[in-house]
Structure 1
């Protein structure tokens, strides 16, 4: 086709030249264009050119983008890095990092992420670390299979340790607990943005049970089911708070998780009017225990408390609770049920009053044999339901989650 175009152009030039020479020899065309001599070939006989076909279009390169820019400094740790492709698909994304952790140890690696089904978008699986250097390498292909690679290097914001919020989770991993035990998350620094944090706290239960988070101040949040756990329930707790804004310039640091299993149902009901405790295992009465509670001025709190810890040969003194009368006693077996110092414990010094009168400084005392039975058969999180006094348990004085109806408890959620 290019050859035809060349010949056509040459033929036209020759015709023009011939006409010019004829005119120069004295032949003048008439009004109709006739020269009176030999007529030139009609112009319609000249070769014509057809439009040349368009060149084959080039497939556009894949376009790559991300939510961070090359050379960025001070990128917030709350950022979830994303990468996108248009006019093609992503084929590989790597987010490499290096930083120094809070213990002064150098850390480096690659942050994993996930790609959507269409392979047009990638999202990092975690937020960022403070004072870190990150390199995002994104590779994509267009429909013709041509590769394009884009590298983005950036640095994250510096954060003082006081602006990093660390979580602690209870119960400890693989624990076996009582039917009343809440999932507990404690923070070493106050959380102002409770809503953001709570959105990143997750509970998984098998079998599934309805429940709610409830904040006790700004550094502790609990989750309890609507009613006591079903025996045998398996629970997983996840605090995905790394990089989450905590408010006031603070951010979560380190995500954490724990898991626990709920044991049999074991409930202790203490009646301080009759001065007897009744023990139920799987809703069947298994023991009746004579007890003594707090005397006037040291009245034992009524309400639902939970076994928090078990201690052996617990030394108890008047200084510990601010009592004027001096004493120093050792309880062979003691089970803590409040932060303020209430225990179920062995009290051989008050055996004569057990089942008869309340003579303690607030604890629930019993014989050595009965306290030994309880410490050997209880789990952390077993309910102790005390009645018969006019003094109630203060919210947060121990694991007090069961002293509110479920509807009231839910009001303690930030969501």
Structure 2
């Protein structure tokens, strides 16, 4: 009996051990390494193998990514570059581009490059190109969707350019001018421009009221813009040569963008008939004066065509050396209005009063009495048309403001675009 009780006890212990081992083998650890049975309270409906993350496992928001089209530490960056900044995984908060450079007069300059941001605040573009031999520092700040800020700083240097490699524009008429209905917008460059397309893309004309027009290159250093027909009186014109940093060709670049604005005055047109020897002036389409004149004699024929008054001078001394004439003379014109680069004027000529209205006896200019020339000088504006007829000699393109001696279709062919 004792032996039998000992065996029963041993068998019971083995059964208990086996049950415990079986229970252990049937328990599956969850994602955190604990068993479902150990973590589930009694009476809970949650499955024992639940993988719900704990609060400490919440994912973080990615930082905003900032970038620029210029590398930090870059040297020799082309002045034609428009600096940009971009943000991904967030938005831009602020972009500041500070610079220092030495101008063409050897004076140190410093400032901040202005720019604009898109509506989404994911990109920023500079409003101007770069200056040569400059040091630029761009500081970009952005934030991610959670509002966490990041900052990136980029410093770079621009290419060096000799003064001879830089193209400076001059614009006419001068700001605030009132001019005649024929006056073109004129842009002149101190250095030849061979990449005309790049430059013309950055020449802008705005008119109020709007008038259709075109650019026309007379040379690599001069380009004009005229409307399809004479300007409407009262038109306000703004011209901008946004060429700073623009490639001009042959390793040259534009320097210093420039602007001008002018207003068109009343319509005043002069018609010179050198067969009848009279100049007739029209104001706003109405005849206001008829003036007897004399034109160029044989060998010195006055040019026919549409010319514009380029400048007004007083007590202008005219000599034979100025035009290469053999006969010697030195005469003073009290009132003189230049029409061509080659030396044609409307001017007072008291020495030829006897021929005025009868014959052509000048060296190419259109002469009249002092009284008539004074009146004409007082009435005219730079850019007023002088339409000359009656001779077989035409005006050469570019000899003065010759813009109106071609149809608009032909004129527009002079555009580089």
> Could you state the TM-score of these two structures normalised by the residue count of structure 2?
0.90
One of 7, 16, 19 as aligned partner of 1:40: 19
Q: CA deviation at 1:43?
A: 3.1
* Distance in structure 2 (CA, Å) of the matches to 1:36 and 1:376: 130
One of 165, 168, 171 as aligned partner of 2:167: 165
Q: CA deviation at 1:250?
A: 0.2
Taking the TM superposition and a 5 Å limit, the aligned residue runs for 1:123-138 are 123-138=125-140
Taking the TM superposition and a 5 Å limit, the aligned residue runs for 1:301-380 are 301-380=303-382
The answer to whether residue 30 in structure 2 is matched with residue 50 in structure 1 is yes
**Equivalent residue number for residue 269 of structure 1:** 271
* Distance in structure 1 (CA, Å) of the matches to 2:129 and 2:16: 93
* Distance in structure 1 (CA, Å) of the matches to 2:16 and 2:82: 89
- SS of 1:403 mapped into structure 2: coil
Taking the TM superposition and a 5 Å limit, the aligned residue runs for 1:151-300 are 151-300=153-302
**Equivalent residue number for residue 21 of structure 1:** none
- SS of 2:351 mapped into structure 1: helix
* Distance in structure 1 (CA, Å) of the matches to 2:320 and 2:19: 134
**Equivalent residue number for residue 73 of structure 1:** 75
* Distance in structure 1 (CA, Å) of the matches to 2:16 and 2:365: 139
Q: Cα gap change, 1:211/1:36 in structure 2, threshold over 3 Å: closer, same or farther?
A: closer
After superposition, the C-alpha distances for 1:323-360 in whole angstroms (9 at most, x for unaligned) are 00000000000000000000000000000000000000
Q: Which runs of 5+ in 2 are unaligned?
A: 1-6, 33-52
* Distance in structure 2 (CA, Å) of the matches to 1:43 and 1:391: 121
Q: Which runs of 5+ in 1 are unaligned?
A: 1-25
- SS of 1:43 mapped into structure 2: helix
Q: CA deviation at 1:242?
A: 0.1
Structure 1 stretch displaced more, 45-54 or 140-149: 45-54
After superposition, the C-alpha distances for 1:111-158 in whole angstroms (9 at most, x for unaligned) are 010000000000000000000000010011001111110000000000
One of 78, 87, 91 as aligned partner of 2:89: 87
* Distance in structure 2 (CA, Å) of the matches to 1:37 and 1:313: 133
* Distance in structure 2 (CA, Å) of the matches to 1:112 and 1:37: 84
Q: CA deviation at 1:50?
A: 3.0
Q: CA RMSD in A?
A: 1.7
One of 383, 386, 393 as aligned partner of 2:388: 386
* Distance in structure 2 (CA, Å) of the matches to 1:358 and 1:130: 57
* Distance in structure 2 (CA, Å) of the matches to 1:367 and 1:294: 16
* Distance in structure 1 (CA, Å) of the matches to 2:72 and 2:404: 53
- SS of 2:133 mapped into structure 1: coil
* Distance in structure 2 (CA, Å) of the matches to 1:38 and 1:122: 74
Q: Cα gap change, 1:286/1:36 in structure 2, threshold over 3 Å: closer, same or farther?
A: closer
* Distance in structure 2 (CA, Å) of the matches to 1:275 and 1:184: 32
- SS of 1:402 mapped into structure 2: coil
Q: CA deviation at 1:38?
A: 6.0
* Distance in structure 2 (CA, Å) of the matches to 1:355 and 1:272: 9
* Distance in structure 1 (CA, Å) of the matches to 2:414 and 2:62: 55
> Could you state the TM-score of these two structures normalised by the residue count of structure 1?
0.91
Q: CA deviation at 1:39?
A: 3.9
Q: Cα gap change, 1:227/1:37 in structure 2, threshold over 3 Å: closer, same or farther?
A: closer
